[in-house]
């Protein structure tokens, strides 16, 4: 089945709040070339619009973001598609962190792999009780290389070891306890109310105050990204073309256990 035509990211602005919506539910908002390009365009539009005070990053469907678009990656014809995609994701995460306006993640669905990196790049994250979370790379013969740039600075080290290594699923309450999520709430109504409360708070702040304060609180993360981007992008590209990763991705797409599974 061919992918639906049309935009995969939608934007809208109301009362100084730009909402950027990942709108590719057919592939669980996977990080396709088109989605990444349109998301970067949305961030650039938010930066250029003086009337935008903050950005809300959210999604349609039951999944916020499932990570890499594996079907697209498998068909890529670039000389080194794995490295191209790793660098592309680093650039996207850095763009969110470096945006001189606060970014609120509104998460009402599942978050996997690369989607965790988007969440880690947001300044404030509100998650609903229906959301589930997993760093699944280790189960695919990979490592959460690039997304570690924004996730590791936010979470406590013991939690990082457990969830990065096991690839197991956890809930919004644990995501908040470990520092990945700012606030875990109930259903959709509570989620919208919590996001609206934060955007109202931003409405009382001056644009200069927000810009300079965000630069202050993100300085260390940006320095971390710039220091380690080459190392993690190289690791990601190396692993992505390995035999184990090929088996991991193939088994995932075929909905069967990989050959190394013991249980």
pLDDT (tens digit per residue) in 144-196:
999 999 999 999 999 999 999 999 999 999 999 999 999 999 999 999 999 99
Average pLDDT of the chain, as a whole number: 94
Examine residue 121 and state whether it is found in any structural domain, yes or no: yes
pTM: 0.95
> Residue 98: pLDDT band by 50, 70, 90 thresholds?
very high
Q: How many domains does the chain have?
A: 1
Q: 138 by DSSP, 3-state: which?
A: helix
Give the bridge partners for 65, in sequence order.
Answer: 111
Contact by Cβ (8 Å): 92, 39: yes
Q: Does residue 192 form part of some domain?
A: no
Q: Tell me the pLDDT band of 69, cut-offs 50, 70 and 90.
A: confident
**DSSP strand pairing (103-107 vs 124-127):** parallel
Q: How far is CA 218 from the centre of its chain?
A: 16
CA dihedral 179, 199, 103, 56 (to 10 degrees): 110
Within-domain flag for 94? yes
- For the cut 70, the answer to whether the pLDDT of residue 77 exceeds it is no
Domain of 96 in residue numbering reads as: 1-187+203-263
Hey, which residues does 193 pair with through a beta bridge? none
90 is a domain residue:
yes
How much of the chain exceeds pLDDT 70, in percent?
Answer: 95
Which of 217, 249, 247 lies closest to 85, judged by CA?
249
CATH number reported for the structural domain that contains residue 38 in this entry: 3.90.226.10
Distance of CA 161 to the CA centre of its chain: 19
CA 257 to chain centre: 26
Within 13 Å, how many C-alpha atoms sit on residue 73's CB side? 21
How far is 55 from 210, CA to CA, in rounded Å? 12
In a domain, 196, yes or no: no
Q: Given pLDDT bands bounded at 50, 70 and 90, which one contains residue 76?
A: very low
- The 10s digit of each residue's pLDDT in 195-239 is 999 999 999 999 999 999 999 999 999 999 999 999 999 999 999
Q: Cα–Cα distance between 263 and 258 in angstroms, integer?
A: 11
Distance spanning both ends of the chain, measured CA to CA: 33
Residue 195 lies in a domain: no
Q: How far is the C-alpha of 90 from the C-alpha of 226, rounded, in Å?
A: 9
Strand bridging mode 17-22 / 63-65 = unpaired
User: Has residue 87 been placed in a domain?
Assistant: yes
Largest pairwise CA distance in the chain: 56
**Residue position matching structure tokens 């069967």:** 256
What's the rounded Cα separation, in Å, for the pair 103 and 159?
24
Query: Percent of the chain scored above 90 by pLDDT?
Result: 91
**DSSP H or E segment with residue 125:** strand 124-127
Q: 152 in a domain, yes or no? A: yes
Condensed to tens digits (0 to 9), the pLDDT of residues 21-38 reads: 999 999 999 999 999 999
């Amino acid at each position: 089945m061919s992918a639906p035509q049309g935009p995969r990211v939608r934007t809208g602005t109301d009362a100084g709040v730009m909402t950027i919506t990942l709108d590719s539910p057919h592939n669980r908002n996977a990080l396709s070339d088109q989605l990444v390009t349109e998301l970067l365009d949305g961030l650039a539009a938010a930066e250029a619009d003086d009337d935008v005070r903050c950005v809300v990053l959210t999604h349609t469907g039951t999944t916020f973001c499932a990570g890499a678009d594996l079907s697209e990656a498998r068909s890529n014809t670039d000389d080194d598609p794995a490295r191209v995609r790793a660098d592309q994701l680093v650039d996207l995460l850095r763009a969110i962190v470096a945006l001189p306006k606060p970014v609120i993640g509104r998460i009402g669905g599942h978050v996997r792999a690369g989607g965790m990196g988007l969440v880690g790049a947001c300044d404030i994250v509100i998650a609903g009780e229906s959301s589930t979370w997993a760093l699944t790379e280790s189960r695919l013969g990979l490592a959460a290389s690039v997304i570690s740039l924004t996730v590791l600075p936010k979470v406590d080290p013991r939690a990082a070891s457990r969830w990065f290594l096991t690839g197991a699923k956890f809930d919004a309450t644990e995501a908040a306890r470990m520092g990945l999520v700012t606030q875990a709430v109930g259903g959709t109504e509570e989620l919208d109310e919590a996001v609206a409360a934060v955007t109202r708070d931003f409405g009382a702040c001056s644009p200069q105050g927000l810009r300079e304060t965000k630069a202050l609180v993100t300085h260390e993360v940006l320095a971390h990204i710039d220091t380690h981007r080459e190392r993690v992008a190289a690791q990601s590209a190396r692993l992505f073309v390995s035999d184990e990763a090929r088996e991991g991705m193939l088994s995932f797409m075929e909905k069967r256990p990989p050959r190394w599974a013991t249980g």
